[in-house]
Structure 1
Amino acid sequence: MRILRSLAFALALCAPVLLPATVRAQGTTLAAPQAGLAALAARLRALDADGLDPRHYAIPEEALATSDPTLYRAMLANAADAAMVDLLHGRARAIGGRPDIRRDATAHMLEPWRAELASTANPAATLERAALHHPEIAPLRAALAEARAIVARGPAQAIPTEGPHTIEPGSTDARRMPLLRARLAIEEPALAALPAPDPALYDEPLVEAVKRWQAREGYEADGRIGRITLAALNRPLDSRVMQLRANIDMRRGLAAPETHRRIEVNLPHQRLQLLEGSTPVLDMAVIVGRPDRATPLMRVRMNAVQFNPSWGVPERNARQDLLPRFQRDPAGMQARGFRLYGNVDGVRTVVDATTVDWTAMNRNNFPYFIRQDAGDTNALGRIKFIMPNGEDIYMHDTPDRHLFRRPDRAFSSGCIRLERPMEMLDAALSGTPGWDRARAQRVLDSRATSGTAITRTVPVALIYTTAIVRDGGVVLRHDLYNHDATYVRAMDAASTRTRTASR
């Protein structure tokens, strides 16, 4: 189901976009003098700084300004109009499968912009204002320029993955250390000037450079180079360019920020916020779906809480994750609260796992249902927050508390695990008559499975924004589920939006 949904999402994004009549060019003309036209042409050719491809806008050659001034002015007007529409409303506007992107075409009406573009002596300045209409675009655009400068200092040679599982500080590796130093020097040119008496040694200056790189990328900054860090170092340098192009375009034409009480979970940053207007009143780390079991994007409402939940294991988890564990130790699995159910004469019946011939079981032959009893070792922990949806996604506690110390927390099968579930419980039950922390604790201590509806239901948005602006800078995280890559393909595949120029 998720594969089909992802395919539909990609096709919807990549389909050519036909603009509604209200967004089509309305015959914009340019009253600017020749100097203003030249500046406008230069600004259009620099649209790559805004994450757009100038080739999409049929910008006329400068020679045409002399050979056919009328056609040149008409073509320039077309190109400027099309670029302005994309700068204000976003180039990729067919955003099926992205409920987290909410655009409003009325937020930036085109008529006033077109009137200014037609009448001003400096249309390039009008285009620049359109490019920066969202306050976060300026820092994102600066980050894009920096990412392109890094690419220009490349290319980077891949660091071999063969060798010790983890490269430890102080170790030697004559093959990989020079490549590591060269890779980091692309981002920190000063590193290349530091003395390296032993090029094979993973010395202190190089360790510190790795720590800085890990911190920027959102990994644990310990200087140890394991499988995840090495794979990240080997990503193409232009992947950041791609991500920043997507993030700039996603901020164009957005609807006004929501003002109601709500929960937002940013999946690539793996954090949850409970917001009152624009003010976070609760902020915590979360664990999200790993890439092969991506947490879907959705907008839902949290409407109930379950205490001491049991876990009805989904079929995929049962076949892929738990079957091998039952095959290794069926008695141990039962001791940890996992119950096996079979179908006997149409009735679901508990089966003693130690009596099953596990050698005959495989992913394609597993006729059992698994449920885990409520308790301290239950995969859902002690609290489950229910938000009805067709994907069976919910938020919950977890017994694996140590995972929250990891900067990279894409470990779940799709649901959201909470770092501080009791604080979420307080927020969820706020406004529900008869409930407070003391009563909730008594219910948890009873060990009995029970639940309650939430009087003040909470909107929940699972969103995907890899680049966030913080203190004027940009924090970029890995494109965990390749949504940025899909978005950029849509930007580059979108139909050219210019009207036919005529004399």
Structure 2
Amino acid sequence: MLIILSMSGTAIGQPSAPQERSMTAVEQVLVPRGGSLEAFYAARAFQVAWMREEQVQGLVEALKGVASDGLNPGDYGADRLLAGYRQALISDEHAQARFDIRATRALYTALRHLHHGKVDPHSIDPQWKVPINERLPTLDRIIQAVETGQLAALFDSVRPAYAPYQRLRQGLTRYRNIQRLGGWPMLPDTGPVLERGVTHPDVAILRKRLAQIGELEVMAADITILPEAKLEAPDPQYFDASLEAAVRRFQDHHLLEMDGIVGPRTREALNVPVDRRIDQIRLNLERARWLMHGLPEAFVLVDIAGYRVSYFRPNGDVWRSRIVVGQPYRRTPSLRSEITHLTVNPTWTVPPTILREDVIPSVRRDPNYLDRRNMQVLTPSGQRLSPGQVNWSNPGNVMIRQAAGPGNALGQVVIRFPNDHLVYLHDTPAQGLFARQRRAFSSGCIRVQGVLELAQLLLDDTGSDRDLRSLLAGGRTRNVSLVEPMPVILHYWTVHPGAGGRLVFRPDIYARDDALLRALDRPLASL
């Protein structure tokens, strides 16, 4: 058979062999491969994406904007991108590809940090149990934003959309403005107790300090401007009723006892530098990014450091109340679960830690301890023992259970949700603790003021069709399932927007802030 060859050596009339595509410069320098960067460039046939200076300028502006979220634009090289782009333009294609990948990596890193946080919560809290939503916008949405220059809108789309997050951002801006103006004046570390009726130079400093955070009505007029005028303004050094009211509001926003008196604890809170308050806001914005995505329509939110519980009901109403949480050495954990059932007229089986550290030592000191508290001693199989049968110096493997009744530590009802820490929401006979501003007194579980009302709302809102009062009246210990489970979130904030948008600063009862701040401020490896 005669075969005629073309000048290239290919047989005429025969199909051409497929030509190998040469690798682009982006493919050659993209290391490591895999993940979001390779997907981004694969969708663009591995061509450069940042072809116009206005695109890069838009990225720079978007990256600088994350400062309003408490993040550091320097982590993403925002101040070096334009110079890098201009240098790449006059270099070879491999330098251009390296710049392009660096810009895209900065974009993705910032989007992830802005969406679900820079710090992995597991790295600073090994017991962290709240799942993190890491879902970013679709690849098509990101590519479109890069090509059209709509990066500001892209960044806005990944910020938590909930009002508390926006109010924290606004608060950060407000406190940074105070910082730029030189901060607020400090009271002397030691000084007299300031209260209504007192005249003292520290009162004038107090007025200026409170005015810095919006208490403008306490400012005294400067009589040196118009010495002959009769000005309706307080004596700067006199502690009057309006100043007392402002001090009460300050105390309320810092979880201090609202007595209107500037004693040592209030003076200490007033003297926390504005820089420290800014750091607190920043790290609580980070905590919000861990949590505030895809929240359910209805859920129970336990604010641990704020000693509050909020139930966001399906009808849009919000039920709120005070809570008591775990002591610093028996911390209430952060977790996410679902409320599945209630226990009415509960008995209380003493948890192992409380049994070992509290109850057994009490029995050793007082032989009548168990009787007074209506507690029974049981074997692991549930067989009842007489307390006299137990060697309390070495009791072995015994259980102690408190019978249902008015003195039961769990009160009349327990709200239960599966979790590894065996914590739950419950009633309590110790109602007086709810009157305190700071309420870290429990052994990890959450005592709820007005928990019977909350329990009935949960029954009503989940279609469970049960009357709690009737269940309680029977006196029998029983579990009552919810027809539909209700999501519950336990989380820890040391700053939170209060009524009127004012920020409420809470004591860091579990000493978690410093570790988070160090992690948040740790520089990233070079992009």
Q: What TM-score comes out, normalization by structure 2 length? A: 0.69
Are 1:237 and 2:274 an aligned pair?
A: yes
Distance across 2 between alignment mates of 1:181 and 1:308? 52
> Given that residues 53 and 85 in structure 2 are in contact (C-alpha distance below 8 angstroms), is that contact kept between their aligned partners in structure 1?
no
Are 1:21 and 2:21 an aligned pair?
A: no
Equivalent residue, structure 1, for 2:213: 187
* Root-mean-square deviation (Å): 4.7
State the shift of 1:251 in Å: 5.1
Distance across 2 between alignment mates of 1:124 and 1:295? 40
Percent of aligned pairs with the same residue? 25
The more displaced of 50-59 and 477-486 is 477-486
Equivalent residue, structure 1, for 2:77: 58
Letter in 2 for 1:403: L
Listed as ranges, the matches of 1:90-129 within 5 Å are 90-92=116-118, 94-96=120-122, 97-100=127-130, 102-106=132-136, 108-120=137-149, 125-126=152-153, 129=156
Distance 1:143 1:405, change over 3 A: same
Equivalent residue, structure 1, for 2:450: 420
Equivalent residue, structure 2, for 1:134: 161
Listed as ranges, the matches of 1:74-223 within 5 Å are 74=99, 77-78=103-104, 81-82=107-108, 84-86=110-112, 89-92=115-118, 94-96=120-122, 97-100=127-130, 102-106=132-136, 108-120=137-149, 125-126=152-153, 129-130=156-157, 134=161, 136=163, 137-152=165-180, 153-154=182-183, 160=189, 167=193, 169-170=195-196, 184=210, 186-188=212-214, 193=220, 203-223=240-260
SS state at 1:248 partner: helix
> Given that residues 32 and 119 in structure 1 are in contact (C-alpha distance below 8 angstroms), is that contact kept between their aligned partners in structure 2?
no
Are 1:294 and 2:313 an aligned pair?
A: no
State the shift of 1:461 in Å: 1.9
Unaligned runs of 5+ in 1: 1-17, 499-503
Listed as ranges, the matches of 1:256-271 within 5 Å are 256-259=294-297, 262-271=299-308
Equivalent residue, structure 1, for 2:385: 349
Equivalent residue, structure 2, for 1:396: 426
Distance across 2 between alignment mates of 1:176 and 1:139? 32
Distance 1:29 1:209, change over 3 A: same
SS state at 1:317 partner: helix
Unaligned runs of 5+ in 2: 1-31, 42-46, 223-233
Number of aligned residues: 459
Q: Which structure ranks higher in relative contact order (CA pairs < 8 Å, sequence separation ≥ 6)?
A: 1
State the shift of 1:454 in Å: 0.9
Equivalent residue, structure 1, for 2:231: none
Distance across 2 between alignment mates of 1:101 and 1:21? 21
State the shift of 1:276 in Å: 4.2
1:329-352, CA deviations, whole angstroms, 9 ceiling, x for partnerless residues? 665x45642547599xx9873336
Equivalent residue, structure 1, for 2:50: 30
Distance across 1 between alignment mates of 2:246 and 2:521? 35
SS state at 2:342 partner: strand
Q: What TM-score comes out, normalization by structure 1 length? A: 0.71
Distance 1:325 1:210, change over 3 A: farther
> Given that residues 268 and 477 in structure 1 are in contact (C-alpha distance below 8 angstroms), is that contact kept between their aligned partners in structure 2?
no
Equivalent residue, structure 2, for 1:456: 483
> Given that residues 129 and 336 in structure 2 are in contact (C-alpha distance below 8 angstroms), is that contact kept between their aligned partners in structure 1?
yes
Listed as ranges, the matches of 1:261-340 within 5 Å are 262-277=299-314, 279-280=316-317, 282-318=319-355, 320-321=357-358, 331=368, 333=369, 336-337=372-373, 339=375
Equivalent residue, structure 2, for 1:12: none
Distance 1:45 1:453, change over 3 A: closer
Distance across 1 between alignment mates of 2:520 and 2:466? 49
Letter in 2 for 1:436: D
Distance across 2 between alignment mates of 1:228 and 1:314? 35
State the shift of 1:277 in Å: 4.1
> Given that residues 28 and 114 in structure 1 are in contact (C-alpha distance below 8 angstroms), is that contact kept between their aligned partners in structure 2?
no
Distance 1:311 1:37, change over 3 A: closer
Equivalent residue, structure 1, for 2:63: 44
Equivalent residue, structure 2, for 1:6: none
State the shift of 1:393 in Å: 0.9
Letter in 1 for 2:143: R
> Given that residues 345 and 412 in structure 2 are in contact (C-alpha distance below 8 angstroms), is that contact kept between their aligned partners in structure 1?
yes
Letter in 1 for 2:277: R
Distance across 2 between alignment mates of 1:298 and 1:290? 17
SS state at 1:462 partner: strand
SS state at 1:92 partner: coil
1:451-492, CA deviations, whole angstroms, 9 ceiling, x for partnerless residues? 134151523423326355678836444244355554444444
State the shift of 1:145 in Å: 1.2
1:348-377, CA deviations, whole angstroms, 9 ceiling, x for partnerless residues? 733369x999xxx8xxx8878654443222
Distance 1:160 1:485, change over 3 A: same
